[in-house]
Amino acid sequence: MKIAFWTRGARRPAAEKHAARGVRAALGRRRGGEMNVVWTSRGDLRKMNVRFRKTDRFTDVIAFRHEPAPGERRRRAADTPFGDLYIAVDQARKNARRFGVTYNEEIVRLAVHGTLHLLGHTDYTPVPRARMWAAQEPLVRRVMARARLK
């Protein structure tokens, strides 16, 4: 999977390469396709939440999976778009303080979390949320164990 990182009114986090490792860990054996990760602000994500999810609240990550047009089959080519993640770096900093983890760990967590959403996981109700976190946290721990960031 080709992963491209972009910034949109936010500073690029030092943990970007570790976020890429988290994305790849969450993707597992899936190798084909392209994915974008956009570092942005919680204000931008709130606007996206209103526009696309009809929910007027802040969030830390939004994932958009690229789907084929109606009647079109999904291609498996290496350059087939897979999805886009938008991560609010300012919200990641708030989350880190709130949950007692490092900012870099929270950046990795949000990258893994968003990728799991692209793969079909949901966290809107307790049971799927528990399943998602059970998949997510071992991946975050594995990436952070290999990272030299704190």
Residues of the chain with pLDDT under 50: none
Residue ranges of domains in the chain, CATH in brackets: 2-146 (3.40.390.30)
DSSP string computed for 38-61: EEE-HHHHHHHIIIII---S--SE
Please give the pLDDT value at position 67: 78
Tell me 68's DSSP state: P
What value does the CA radius of gyration of the chain take, rounded to a whole number of Å?
15
Please give the pLDDT value at position 77: 61
Please give the pLDDT value at position 7: 94
Please give the pLDDT value at position 5: 96
Please give the pLDDT value at position 104: 95
Write the CB contacts of 48 (distance below 8 Å, at least 6 apart in sequence). 62, 86
